[in-house]
Chains A and B, each alone.
Chain A
Amino acid sequence: MTERDTDAASDIDLVRRAQAEDIDAFCLLAERYARRIYLLAAHYCRNPQDAEDLSQEVWLKAYQAVQTFRFDSSFYTWLRRITINAFLNHRRSSFFRRNGQTMSVQLLQIDSEEQQVFFESSSRSQENIYNKLLFESVVNALAELTPAQRLAFLLRHYEGMTYEEIATAMNCSIGTVKKGVWRAIGKLRARLSPESDAQETLTSLASEY
């Protein structure tokens, strides 16, 4: 099988091969969905290192459980369920050891090696710096929420899940999910709206670069 054929292979084919303990096939699946899982983890953890650890753990759990995949949903839906469970489990534990050191702080550490790796491609232009500062505001707004509220907003906004799907995945009521999503929107609106002080601060900071 050539590389081109491998790229074109469907998720189902790759999952079947992964179930036959083909690590290459599973790594191809990981390459397809690693960014989405990582970004979810990054917004949830608010720290690049924690996001990497958590997303790696999600992939490891998925590989160990791939034999249980019954093809009654898409692979990503199944993977997202594992991701949500991993997030909720880590919310209960003390996994986030760098909780006080949020992603926004690392974004502004010029000499940080992680930061350079994390945002090397977008650290030169003024627009990207402005984006980074705005992203910092987004992260800070999400940091004011509880982990469950943050996860509900991420799943609703970034993943496009319905309230019913989120409530089922998080094992809570639809009202709780809605409350979390609306609260997140309120926080973001307060921080990013044009009339807010944060926006003015960001604009002035961005103009300095």
Chain B
Amino acid sequence: MHNCKETREIFTELLLDGMDFRSDQAISAELSRCSECRSEFEVLSATLRLTSRLSEAAAPDENYWTGYHSKLRQSLVKAQAESSTSRAKAQRHKDELGPLFEPLRPRAGTSVFARFFKTTVPVPLPLAVAVIAAAALFLSLVIPFAIRAARVQQPNTTTVVRVPVEVPVVQEKPAEKIITRVVYRDRLVVKATTPAKDATRAESTFAKSQKSEGEAMPSSLAGFKPSDEVKLTVIKGGVPNEK
């Protein structure tokens, strides 16, 4: 099955590689099948050939290259001179400072730590005196300050501060005695005839019972002293000593 897109991609890559499409039989067969791909191939082939040829034709002539190379040679000579100068400078620094760091250079058979602790570095006498004097001055200034600071911070004991605190005292009142008694009353059996008669009869019955209670105190209330608060539980229809 011919695919124009794939065919064009393939022959473009072949052209970029500088290959002749006739050497590839598969591509030749594809191009013979499709006239559009064949014309596209011809156009593209001519375009890339022309581009290559024009690139060569656009190259400057020999006269140009003479000046080009003489300019390049001058640049190279200048770069080499600069490089030599910088190398000589680096070598001079190395010669001057190298002996100072010679003891620190790694040697075979010694560990890094051992070499570090055993290494001695020769230092010029004025420099050594200056370093020691600076260190002594530094210590003489720093140590008094450190001691003073330590003294200021020394009282580190805990101090107890007594502060009177007024605490409100709440005096609780003694709980009032609440006497609970169970009073049983006989249930009045009232036969209701009519609502009006019921109401009058109920009132008369209540008044009669009040009256009878006031006249004769039951024995169960003997010695009872009234208090400010009475909790009275009335059980209707209850029977004394009923369990």
- Chain A residues with CB under 8 Å of chain B are 21, 23, 26-27, 30-31, 34-35, 38-39, 42-43, 48, 52, 56, 59-60, 63-64, 117-122, 128, 131-132, 134-135, 138, 156-158, 160, 181-182, 185, 188-189, 192-194
Contact = CB atoms under 8 A, between A and B. Distances in A.
Given A34-B69, A60-B75, A118-B64, A157 B47 contact: no
A117 B64 CA distance: 6
19 contacts: A26-B76, A27-B69, A30-B72, A38-B59, A42-B58, A56-B72, A59-B75, A60-B72, A60-B76, A60-B79, A122-B61, A131-B57, A135-B54, A135-B58, A138-B51, A156-B16, A185-B12, A193-B47, A194-B46
A120 B80 CA distance: 34
B69 A30 contact: yes
Contacts of A34: 65, 68-69, 72
A117 B65 CA distance: 10
Nearest to A184: B51
Interface of B: 12, 16-18, 43-44, 46-48, 50-55, 57-61, 63-65, 68-69, 71-73, 75-77, 79-80, 83
B69 A122 contact: no
A181 B12 CA distance: 10
A186 B64 CA distance: 33
A124 B68 CA distance: 23
Nearest to A57: B75
Given A27-B73, A34-B65, A185-B12, A158 B55 contact: yes
Nearest to A63: B76
